Chains A and B, each alone.
Chain A
Amino acid sequence: MAFLNMFNKEKERPTAATADDRLSLVLSYQRSDIDERKLKKFQSRLVELCDEFGYDVVGQVEIRPQSRDWDNMTVLNASIPVRLRGK
């Protein structure tokens, strides 16, 4: 059984597909100095908001802060996979 479970194990998803993207992400987090707990709270508020507007969140909500070099601004990119309720 343990042998079968070995194949069944859920793998940790990488945060980005390439080393370069991962580095961008890592540096963005570091530079924006965003509190992880705050980000989690923000994530659950987004789920609530989707619910309020009639959308079901059907996958992992991802929020990625990115630093924008030209104006030294942090941009929060949210990816929320949703389905319209009742469809």
Chain B
Amino acid sequence: MKHDSVAITVTSGKGGVGKSTTVASVGLALAKLGRKVCVMDTDIGLRKLDLMLGLENRIVYDLVDVVEGTSKLRQSLVRHKEFEHLALLPAAQTRYKEEITPEQVKQIVDELRHEFEFILIDSPAGIEGGFRNAIAPADRAVLVVNPEIPSVRDSDRVIGLLESANLDKIDLVVNRVQPGMVRDGDMLSVERVQNHLAINLLGIVPEDRRIVRSSNTGEPVVLDDKSMAGCAFNNIARRLNGERVPFLELEEPSLIHRIKRIFHIA
């Protein structure tokens, strides 16, 4: 079946909330589902996606090279060896965000649309030039938020900026949720975050120590069957792929429930 191409910008405003982790994980998960995916790093000067996907040693050309005409687009794409449907367009590491314009990024994405069904754009933190480059070609946006006030406030501001750029289709991913802290009242609940931001909830990703390991090894958590975060990212990919997938039950079972389970009575 032929699908239209869609460009999705993953953004947040605040740094360190898990944008690159989301792009790498969801990109790989979509490729596992058989979709043709290009993950594009627009964080010029501070690239990360190459490390997240374990492709850092295979970069020859980058996004700025394509813009400047030093390389062709297909020469700059780094194809994943294991997942052939996945390609990375890396950002330059020793250049500056101001060296490219939103119009140039748009042209590159338009070219990518000929080959790829999903183009996931990793936006840099902040709301300056790099952010404008990342949202210019987008058909829709995914906002990654941590359940904490600074992150939600920045996201609220970003929603306003996306809407003023005529990007109305905005989905929410609440990342690094800790059910125990929510239960104790020390963390905002997903429901409250969603109520405040009033956008569609696409995914809930629990805090997971395996994420740290995955970014160090270059193997996204979606390849780890034991990772709850990996499972959540796989679900997000399935939802983007048009499936109806229920949200993960994150609440840890109580001690009594765990004992009952041991004796097979729960």
Residues of A with Cβ closer than 8 Å to B? 18-20, 22-24, 26-27, 30-31, 69
Most buried by B among A18, A22, A24, A27: A27
What distance in Å separates the Cβ of A82 from its nearest Cβ neighbour in chain B? 32
B185 within 8 Å of A (CB atoms):
yes
Bound CA–CA A31/B152 (angstroms): 13
Residues of B with C-beta under 8 A to A31: 156
What distance in Å separates the Cβ of A80 from its nearest Cβ neighbour in chain B? 27
Show 10 residue pairs from A and B whose CB-CB distance is below 8 angstroms, ordered by the A residue.
Answer: A19-B149, A19-B188, A23-B153, A23-B188, A23-B192, A23-B196, A27-B152, A27-B196, A30-B153, A30-B157
Bound CA–CA A19/B188 (angstroms): 7
B108 within 8 Å of A (CB atoms):
no
Number of interface residues of B (CB under 8 A): 12
Most buried by B among A23, A30, A31, A69: A23
CB closest chain-A residue, reference B149: A23
Number of A-B contacts defined by CB within 8 Å: 27
Residues of A with C-beta under 8 A to B185: 18-19
**Dominant secondary structure of chain A at its interface with chain B:** helix
What distance in Å separates the Cβ of B197 from its nearest Cβ neighbour in chain A? 9
Q: Is the CB of A69 within 8 A of B196?
A: no
Residues of B with C-beta under 8 A to A22: 149
What distance in Å separates the Cβ of B199 from its nearest Cβ neighbour in chain A? 13
What distance in Å separates the Cβ of B152 from its nearest Cβ neighbour in chain A? 6
B198 within 8 Å of A (CB atoms):
yes
Q: Is the CB of B153 within 8 A of A27?
A: yes
Bound CA–CA A23/B191 (angstroms): 13
Residues of A with C-beta under 8 A to B157: 30
Q: Is the CB of A26 within 8 A of B153?
A: yes
What distance in Å separates the Cβ of B28 from its nearest Cβ neighbour in chain A? 33
CB closest chain-A residue, reference B150: A26
CB closest chain-B residue, reference A19: B188
Bound CA–CA A45/B97 (angstroms): 47
Q: Which 10 A-B pairs have the closest CB atoms?
A: A23-B149, A26-B153, A20-B192, A27-B156, A19-B188, A23-B152, A23-B196, A27-B196, A26-B149, A30-B156
Bound CA–CA A69/B185 (angstroms): 25
Interface flags for B154-171 (1: CB within 8 Å of A; 0: not) read: 001100000000000000
